[in-house]
Structure 1
Amino acid sequence: MIRRALRWLLVTFYAFAGIMHLSKPEPFLSIMPGYVPVPEAMVFWTGVAELLGAAALVQPWSKQIRKAGAIGLALYAICVFLANIHHFALDMARENGGLGLAYHIPRMIAQPVLVWLALWVGGVTDWPCRRRPQ
């Protein structure tokens, strides 16, 4: 029950993020590290990845597709972590402090949680919810 509810929450989160990447790419382009080639394409394909991952998590036909989507979203969250760090550094360097630590610190903490959550709701791992055999 909890896993299903959190799966739908994660699906909603990634579907919304994917739609935003595709429909309003400007905020994502503004935080893209300078070393990323063709930032417009990167933002587009990250939006596509989010939508495909969300669709894989919610589809009812195949546990293997659900697991593949979960692994894909976990890897995605790891890959975009550098962009989040870059955004943190850019924001904190502004005179007004940008969005501030109250936004960035929870976001940094949430990133590994998103990795684990994708794997857990996708059925890739049961850790830490599985009971130890006795």
Structure 2
Amino acid sequence: MRLALAAALVFAGIDHWLTPERYLPMMPDYLPWHLPLVLFTGTCEIAGALGLLLPRTRRLAAALLALYFVCVFPANLHNALNGLTVDGLPQEQWYYWLRLPFQPLIILWTLYAGGLLPRRATAVAAA
């Protein structure tokens, strides 16, 4: 699970750097510096992914990534409310609304992958 999350974050982070124009329409008008913020979010995703892979930084990276996902939620909401689409993603509006309830699941996945949520207890054989 951790590797899948890290791979997705690296892919998304690199994409923020290679094609930032795809993400600029998602930026709400009340935020300044749209291009630097897109590049910064890409950097956060890459750094967070690397942090998840290193045992020493895993817990901190998970906590910061969870905070990051909370912080980018307004951009996802802005996208859905304003009928904006992103090149390379489905163009139907239901997709952007469907993403919103998955944000808490991504946060839980991140916390779990970082060891901040307990793993399910395994059954102990009766002695």
How far is 1:104 from its partner?
2.1
- The alignment partner of 2:67 has SS state of helix
Percent of aligned pairs sharing the same letter = 35
> Does the C-alpha gap of structure 1 residues 106 and 130 become closer, same or farther in structure 2, counting only changes over 3 Å?
farther
What residue number does 1:30 align with?
25
- Counterparts of 1:7 and 1:110, CA distance in 2: 17
**Deviation per CA, 1:18-71, whole angstroms, max 9, x where unpaired?**
0011110011101100011111110011000000000001124x1xx1001101
What residue number does 2:115 align with?
123
Structure 1 runs of 4+ with >2 Å offset: none
Q: Residues 52-63 of structure 1: matches in 2 within 5 Å?
A: 52-60=47-55, 62=56
- Counterparts of 1:38 and 1:81, CA distance in 2: 18
What residue number does 2:69 align with?
77
Letter in 2 for 1:51: I
**Deviation per CA, 1:63-112, whole angstroms, max 9, x where unpaired?**
xx1001101110110000000000001217xxxxx5221x1233111100
- Counterparts of 2:79 and 2:39, CA distance in 1: 18
Contact 1:21–1:44 (8 Å) recurs in 2: yes
Q: CA RMSD in A?
A: 1.6
How many matched pairs? 116
What are structure 1's unaligned runs of at least 5 residues?
A: 1-5, 93-97
- Provide the TM-score with structure 2 as the length reference: 0.85
- Provide the TM-score with structure 1 as the length reference: 0.81
